[in-house]
Amino acid sequence: MKLKTRIHLSSTLLMLLVLLLVNAVIYLTFSNQTYSTEEDRLRAETELLVAALSRNDNIPRETVLRAYVPASGAVQVKDGAGTVMTSIQDPAITAAFPDIPGSGAGQTDVEGEPFAFVKAPIIWSDGSVMELTVAQSMAQPAANLQNLLLLLAIVTAVAMIPIFLSSRFLGKLVAQPIQELTGTMRRIQENGQFEKLPEEKVNSDELGEMTHTFNRMMELLEENYSKQEDFVSNASHELKTPLTVIRGYAKLLRRQGLRNEQVAEESLTAIEVESVRMAAMIEQLLNLAGASESKLEMKQVDVLQLLEEITAAMNTAYDRQFILEKEIADAIERTDPEKLKQILYILLDNARKYSEDRVELIISDQGGTVIQIRDYGVGIPKQSLPLVFDRFYRVDKARSRDTGGFGLGLSLAKELAERLELALEIESIEGMGTTISVRFSSKSHVHALQLEQEGSR
């Protein structure tokens, strides 16, 4: 069943139930009250009659009884053996006087007509004790109650018309934006295009929020999709370059290489260099693809020690000065050490590639641990600073090619940093040098006290 129909039917049914319940309560209260009022009245009249009978004046009992017969009612006197002594009834009553069993007061049915009755003992003229029964027809109150029932049924039926219409409107109100959303999704599915829902006429309610969220999701998907497209086209473009070189040299080798040893040597060297380059690039691409999926292994890391190891490794590997400056005594952070190393190696490698002087690693406390990698090299032009973290972006393509760069290092570093909740900040002055800061969030910091506690466990 459609949501619209479900809302329509369930709210109509619910309202009908509420109305029926209210009506039932009204009817029952009213009928109880009517019958008990009638009974009370009859009881009071009987008491008056008993009092009149017990007054020992000279009026015959029959006359007193006749005077007290209630309208649409009857009185009857029976002796101890159950023989009817006197029975008087209002001419309006067609039914025979009810033979009412038991004693006290109550209600009974005579030939389908409801009666209220009250019984009381009286002293008859001969001094014997008789049973007096006063009965009163309840046909009129019953007819009134019947009318009330009819009235309530009509009111319910009339009230159901606006309820039916308004719940239909409610169903439409809720289901329409959902239908529009589904329609748009279906169109997107069929056309493979990113489409948004119109936002001008939506309110600031839950449905408006849903439309808004859907549109933001579409924007994000579109953005990611176009980034992905750019990435694929850039990657294939970058891979084409070494392939073109390899194919060119292979052709040269086929044409002249077999006869000319120098050409053969030159061609094979170029083919080897380009294939190594291609392999390196593919490896970086795979690294980048895996960066968002590989599992994090978070642990407490002594960052000072990790920096010492990295500095020593860089000093051994390259003929360059890497200097570690420690401005804090300890730095224990919760992080993934392998991924942190990967980030730092990318930054140090860049600092090395784009400078010729010393490279400094500075660790300090700036409201949280910060590692800075500073070089005194070519620097980055101001307009390029916001772009260096983009995939395949290189400031100077020719120079980067010489240094073996593909423009993927910093984007990988950024991706890893985001996963480790590290902030990467870059400052650079062209011709002066570059400083990249890796900032730990204060919540990753492990305090000495915490360390002691964990150690003693």
Instruction: Provide the binding-site residues for ligand ADP, judged by CB under 6 A.
Output: 350-351, 354, 375, 377-380, 388, 393-396, 400, 405-411, 434
Strand pairing category for 73-78 and 84-89: antiparallel
Closest contact distance (angstroms) between CB of 448 and ligand ADP is 34
- Report the sign of the C-alpha dihedral through residues 150, 152, 158, 164, in that order: negative
Angle made by CA atoms 416, 418, 422, in degrees to the nearest 5 = 95
- Smallest distance, ligand ADP to C-beta of residue 241, A: 14
Distance, CA of 115 to CA of 136 (rounded, Å) = 5
Q: How far is the CB of 313 from ligand ADP (least distance, A)?
A: 18
Task: For 96-200, list the strands marked E by DSSP.
Answer: 105-110, 113-123, 129-137
Contact 371, 303 (CB under 8 A): yes
Q: Identify the CA nearest to 361 among candidates 427, 407, 304, 416.
A: 304
Minimum distance from CB of 389 to ligand ADP (Å)?
7
| Smaller CB separation from ligand ADP, 306 or 408 | 408
**Cβ at position 199, least distance to ligand ADP in Å:** 37
CB of 188 to ligand ADP, least distance (A): 34
Least distance to ligand ADP, CB of residue 178, Å: 45
Least separation, in Å, of the C-beta of 312 and ligand ADP?
Answer: 21
- Rounded to whole angstroms, how far apart are CA atoms 272 and 40? 117
Q: Are 387 and 393 in contact (CB under 8 A)?
A: yes
The amino acid that residue 243 corresponds to is L
Shorter beta-carbon distance to ligand ADP: residue 70 or 377? 377
Measured between alpha carbons, how far is residue 5 from residues 14, 167, 186, 205, 420 in Å? 14, 10, 22, 22, 50
Quote the distance between the C-alpha of residue 273 and its chain's center. Answer: 56
- Toward ligand ADP, which CB reaches closer, 166 or 234? 234
* Full 3-state SS string of 97-115: CCCCCCCCEEEEEECCEEE
Q: Which is nearer to ligand ADP, 248 or 381 (CB)?
A: 381
Task: Give every strand in the sheet of 422-429, ordered side by side.
Answer: 322-326, 359-365, 369-375, 433-440, 422-429
Q: Exposed, middle or buried by CB within 10 Å (0-12, 13-18, 19+), for 426?
A: middle
Write down the least CB distance from residue 324 to ligand ADP, Å: 17
88 versus 385: smaller Cβ distance to ligand ADP: 385
For ligand ADP, give the closer residue by CB, 157 or 232: 232
- Judged by beta carbon, residue 249 or residue 406, the one nearer ligand ADP is 406
Closer to ligand ADP at the Cβ: 177 or 405?
405
Sequence-ordered list of residues with C-beta below 8 angstroms from that of 355, at least 6 positions apart, any chain? 375, 376, 377, 378, 433, 434
Q: Which is nearer to ligand ADP, 301 or 310 (CB)?
A: 310
- Nearer to ligand ADP (CB atom), residue 65 or residue 351: 351
Tell me 95's DSSP state.
S
> Apex CA 225: angle with CA 223 and CA 226, to 5°?
65
Least Å from the CB of residue 356 to ligand ADP: 11
Give the single-character DSSP code of 163: H
Residue number with the shortest CB distance to ligand ADP? 405
Nearer to ligand ADP, 214 or 392 (CB): 392
| Pick 304 or 362: Cβ nearer ligand ADP | 362
With beta carbons less than 8 A apart as the criterion, state whether 338 and 416 touch: no
In three-state secondary structure terms, 302 is strand
As measured in angstroms, the least distance from the Cβ of 372 to ligand ADP is 12
Distance CA 426, CA 439 (A): 11
Q: How far is the CB of 375 from ligand ADP (least distance, A)?
A: 5
